Amino acid sequence: MSATAAIDVSTATGRIPGNNGIWVGIFCVLVEFLLLFGVYFIAKAHYPEAFRTGPDKLATVAGTTITFLLLTSGYCMVKAVAAIRRDRRRATLAWVVGAMLLGLGYPLVKFFEIRWNMAHGIDGETGIFYTTYYYLTLNHLVHVSWGILGLGWVAVRTGLGVYSADDYSGLEAAAVYWHTTDVIWLVIFPFFYVLR
């Protein structure tokens, strides 16, 4: 499928941002996380007390910082798409690199968060709440890693001048995938740091 054809999909059924293929991947990821959320709800139903007290021992500041990083990185990709639509390629590159650097902050914060957890005796076997927490958050980190790799690929291609105002479907596909990881994190964050 040509990239140009993909961004020209604008019919009575509405425009498809990015390309068709990325949406297959996005909905696979969303279904996967719905199943993982099912694990969370079932575990919580069986051990309500563990889920009531569990968040108290986690570093809320770490979860909040990750949320800020992801939302700000997502904002950068919104600006990158807006810039390429105006054919401002240097600005596009700057926004994509900014998004990627902010995205890289996520695994960095996660590293320090896990180190902090370990120092406070919280590992995957501390209890059902923490097992579920590691299960979901590390799974999300894996999907974010694909997104960061995607942003790196898009940054290189932007630098090479591949994208233009007439053809930017690859850049937009990376952007919508990246925003999907935001949507999922906006569920995971309250599950483990806010909800009791």
In the complex, the residues that contact other proteins under the rule CB under 8 A are 13-17, 23, 27, 30, 34, 37, 41-42, 44-46, 48, 52, 55, 60-61, 63-64, 67-68, 71-72, 74-75, 77-79, 81-82, 175-176, 179-180, 182-183, 186-187, 189-190, 193-196
Q: Cβ 175 to other proteins, closest distance in Å?
A: 8
Q: Cβ 64 to other proteins, closest distance in Å?
A: 4
Q: Cβ 182 to other proteins, closest distance in Å?
A: 5
Q: Cβ 160 to other proteins, closest distance in Å?
A: 25
Residue 50 or 159 having the CB closest to other proteins: 50
Name 90's Cβ contacts closer than 8 Å, sequence gap at least 6: none
Residue 47 or 159 having the CB closest to other proteins: 47
Smallest Cα–Cα separation from 185: which of 5, 36, 11? 36
Helices vs. strands in the chain: H and E counts, helices first: 7, 2
Query: Under a CB-based contact definition with an 8 Å cutoff, are residues 22 and 177 in contact?
Result: yes
The per-residue b/e assignment along 187-196, b for 16 or more CB within 10 angstroms, e otherwise, is ebbebbbeee
